[in-house]
Chain A
């Protein structure tokens, strides 16, 4: 039981780190990586719960695989949007992209 807690603490730590990164980073690539950290924290959770609480079905492992696939698609879309932004602004700093207000 103790080892489940270890995994949960690590995943909570990863998740908080990711959230902090999204909120605090100003570089778009950095923000994207932080989001991936949050997704991987969820993956770690799924695997740990699956291993320690429901060892028989493999639902958690399957979900982890799906999340990895979706994260890849997400990164592809995100990078394409960042690329389009970079062509127009010549920068990937989010502070340059703050014209809409009010």
Chain B
């Protein structure tokens, strides 16, 4: 019975997925009804996940570990899912006949990522990451009337399966070197054999599967095309929830080598620098706002990695904080995009012109979200960057921090271009006013408060992330 309680958050999402599986079998489609059901089920899932936040224990022959670290990430995942489902009330980017399948896949994907952050056995990790990827491959390909974006699905699929093939090969090498698939035993045996090339290559190849999910430098190629080509809601889901699971897994895996391998750290530093610089420099020239956010997500993957590669408790805590702040800020931006592009088209930056008159609240949300992404105080993004850089400085990576700072300055430029469009540019032609319903209004206010509150009073949350980082080892 106790085991059942431990699995309750995942179980609630299994139920949600099953409900929508039944809905998808029906011949008629009722988008409004589906949205109501999806929001209710996702809301229940979030409440259950929050209620289960302080549980601890092992499940399924020690393959599955429930602790503070996993529970925090499960809350973030559930939160992201609720937000994305909330914004799906005008799901114009997807054929109405496929709405039930859309929600089904979103819930399956959330379930898979929840299992991923709790999994502490290599096979479990592999199966969960594949389940979440398969759902995303289908979600990305579902966009309606997508003649110009028809190649998106196949690009995502091909890069994804290649990354997962690299990952399973890496897992096989790790298994060969350490003779075990349990993370607890791996972290004991791996530091002794980390000097062997097979162990380093195995660890790197395994990490590459997660780098793909996080859109880190060598595996970033899919991000711009997928962000641009997927329906707005799907993009928001990929940009928020799926990044959380990837960050959690990279934290778990880099912890394995426990700083015994300076080469690995050097490589991670290189990837982080390349990821930040590439993302920020290419973002400057973008016209499509989703594509811009894709390059910004590549850059942010680099920032998160700075916290992780410090490989200290404080570094991991700062990475968790940064991931949380990124989830909130990024969703704030995407919520505004989804609201303005109500008919599901791809929003260009110039279409934002005069937004502060059309909808002051959305313009304010967008501005704070972008300020947060750029790292301007007093938002959560600034505190996140501060913590990450502080953790890196503690380990003496001054060079890395300086490059990070320069990158933050570069990124300010293209975020300000968007804000300038929303606040200063005169619209070339008259755009219709943006209808904002009451719930969206409440959600925007909540997001604004959350972004500023987490930025000014981070103490409570930081101590929570530090406690979570301690449960890792």
A residues apposed to B, CB below 8 Å: 15, 18-19, 22, 28, 31-32, 35, 38-39, 41-43, 45-46, 48-49, 53-54, 59-60, 62-63, 66-67, 70, 73-74, 77-78, 81-82, 84-85, 88-89, 94, 97-100, 102
B291 interface contact, C-beta 8 A: yes
- CB <8 Å contact, A77 and B137: yes
B286: A residues at CB distance < 8 A: 102
B225 interface contact, C-beta 8 A: yes
Contact of B134 among A31, A77, A85 (CB under 8 A): A77
Interface of A is mostly: helix
A26 to chain B, nearest CB (A): 12
B151: A residues at CB distance < 8 A: 85, 97-100
Instruction: Give the complex CA separation of A6 and B352 in angstroms.
Output: 61
Q: Given A35-B165, A77-B138, do A100 and B153 touch, yes or no (CB 8 Å)?
A: no
A13 to chain B, nearest CB (A): 12
Interface string of B88-130 (1 = CB under 8 A from A): 0000000000000000000000000000000000110011001
- CB <8 Å contact, A88 and B161: no
- CB <8 Å contact, A35 and B149: no
B166: A residues at CB distance < 8 A: 38
A67: B residues at CB distance < 8 A: 126, 168
B63 to chain A, nearest CB (A): 11
16 more A-B residue pairs beyond the given contacts A41-B169, A100-B224, with a C-beta to C-beta distance below 8 A: A15-B169, A19-B162, A35-B158, A38-B166, A42-B172, A53-B179, A59-B175, A66-B127, A74-B161, A77-B157, A81-B154, A97-B155, A99-B148, A100-B149, A100-B228, A102-B286
Instruction: Give the complex CA separation of A73 and B165 in angstroms.
Output: 14
Interface extent on B, as a size class?
35 or more
A8 to chain B, nearest CB (A): 8
- CB <8 Å contact, A42 and B169: yes
A41: B residues at CB distance < 8 A: 169
Chain A to chain B contacts (Cβ below 8 Å), 18 pairs: A15-B169, A32-B161, A38-B165, A42-B171, A43-B172, A59-B181, A62-B123, A63-B172, A73-B130, A74-B161, A81-B154, A81-B157, A85-B153, A88-B150, A99-B151, A100-B151, A100-B152, A100-B228
Instruction: Give the complex CA separation of A88 and B150 in angstroms.
Output: 8
Instruction: Give the complex CA separation of A74 and B129 in angstroms.
Output: 12
Q: Given A18-B165, A97-B154, do A45 and B137 touch, yes or no (CB 8 Å)?
A: no
B147 interface contact, C-beta 8 A: yes
